[in-house]
Amino acid sequence: MTESPSRSGAFESEVDQRVEAFTESISFDARLFREDIAGSIAHANMLSDQQLISPGERDQIIEGLVNILAELESGEFSFRPELEDIHMNIEQALIDRLGDVGRKLHTGRSRNDQVSTDMRLWIRGCIDRVDGLLAGLQKSFVQLAISEGEVVIPAYTHLQRAQPVLAAHYFLAYCEKLERDRLRLRDCRLRVNQSSLGTAALAGTSLDIDRAHTAKQLGFEGLVENSLDSSSDRDYMLEFVFCLSLISVHLSSWAEDWIIWSTTEFSMIQIPHEFCTGSSIMPQKINPDVLELTRGKAARVIGDLQTLLVLVKGLPMAYNRDLQEDKLPLFDAADTVENCLEIAIPLVAGSRLNRDNIAAGLDRGFLDATTLMEFLIKRGIPQRKAHHAIGELVRQATRQNCRLSDLSLEDFQAFDPSLDASIYDVLGIENALSAFRSLGSTSPKRVASQIGTWRERLEIS
Ligand code: ARG
């Protein structure tokens, strides 16, 4: 029988070729090769320090692994699907080179703890890349807040015009969401960055291994102690893909905003043409496809999370082969979010507000109505009364097809005779905007101080 690291002498026949094709994962787990080799080098060092292999054997193993790594990096390595996965491909390549010395590498280890270790290392690297990309996107939003931030835009609830805000306030709202995404990733990293190595198949081992030794070499902050837990646990991966899902939800809602803003009807933003595509039949079309795909790809990422949740929900303790299927949704979610962030960074940085068009439309929608109501409250009128009265004035202005600021003093005095011309100080969009006060509001002072905070935090000069 041909040699395979996982087919012991217990088998009476070779594997059916159809099973080989059905069970392989090398077509999608080959990308774990760096992590797999790092884990094996740490393991070999530990085995030697624990006198489970000799220092000479350790050196041969590490040299062999380093050479295999070079072959993998250069694309010269030939993968063998009959060896199932990346772990056995690398191990067999080592055995082919070193014979019995290579056959010692797997001492005190199982593919169950090996695969989980590899994925923890891979996710840790990915968390750090995504964090960098999120910071990059925050910087793009802050740059826009600096260059376009003083523009007053209508803010919406129910997609109906609500109140005026500074554009900077809007851009910084996305910085906040992305900051929470970063914090969530940082928290998730704590649980990702725990070593599974040395829990072996599921029960640990009778060999005198040192788990803390490998954990330290691989930069893990601690280890997953209970071997049954470790063999079956994929919580760290689910958490990570949840973090990715929420990032893609944030990106999707941003994309939706800007798709709407870039329509002729809204005409609030110009997306750089490098990030738009055309139509094969309608020559006038300049479409925001990148934004639409960002929205669409969020569905994939959410689907990946769903796949993982369903994958693990009915598994008996401990490792089950179903878990091999975790890699496809994990990699898909990670690749998708990285791609979306990579393209969002320059798209945001290159976008410009259509200042004239936005300004021309601000008088529609009574954006100053709430500030006017608050003016009345400040004069002692109960909120519910003021709310009702301004509603009537809005109705009157709608009938007369004019702004609230176009109504006469008599119109206001009909509601409350004590009102004087100072009421016009809060009417009009600019006045309404500068009336804001509260912490976190769109008050120009508050927003300027927020821009300062973000500049410092993200080290923007
Ligand atoms: N390719 C497998 C996976 O990704 C590795 C672990 C296999 N373990 C086993 N006992 N069959 O999950």
From the options 2.60.40.420, 1.10.40.30, 3.90.1150.10, 1.10.3720.10, give the CATH code of 361-457.
Answer: 1.10.40.30
Specify the fold of 112-201+222-358. Fumarase C; Chain A, domain 2 (1.20.200)
Please give the Cα distance from 89 to 3 (Å, whole number).
12
pLDDT of residue 263: 97
pLDDT of residue 1: 53
CA of 112 from ligand 1 middle (Å) equals: 6
Assigned token pair, 238: 């689910």
Strands (E), 26-184: 152-157, 160-166
pLDDT of residue 268: 98
Q: By C-alpha distance, which of 252, 240, 34, 238 is closest to 128?
A: 240
Q: Which residues contact 214 (CB under 8 A, 6 or more apart)?
A: 39, 42, 43, 45, 46, 195, 197, 198
Q: Is 213 noted as a catalytic residue in this protein?
A: no
Residue with tokens 């934004």: 291
Tell me, yes or no, if the pTM score tops 0.85.
yes
Residue 263 gets which letter from DSSP?
S
Ligand 1 atom 12, closest CA: 324
101-131: pLDDT as tens digits: 999 999 999 999 999 999 999 999 999 999 9
Q: Is 25 noted as a catalytic residue in this protein?
A: no
Domain ranges of the chain: 17-107, 112-201+222-358, 361-457
Check if 200 has its Cβ closer than 6 Å to any atom of ligand 1: no
Low-confidence ranges of the chain (pLDDT < 70): 1-3
pLDDT of residue 42: 98
- CATH classification of 17-107 is 1.10.275.10, yes or no? yes
pLDDT of residue 2: 60
Whether 112-201+222-358 shares its CATH topology with 361-457 is answered no
Options 27, 54, 253, 279, the catalytic residue: 279
Check if 111 has its Cβ closer than 6 Å to any atom of ligand 1: yes
pLDDT of residue 283: 86
pLDDT of residue 370: 95
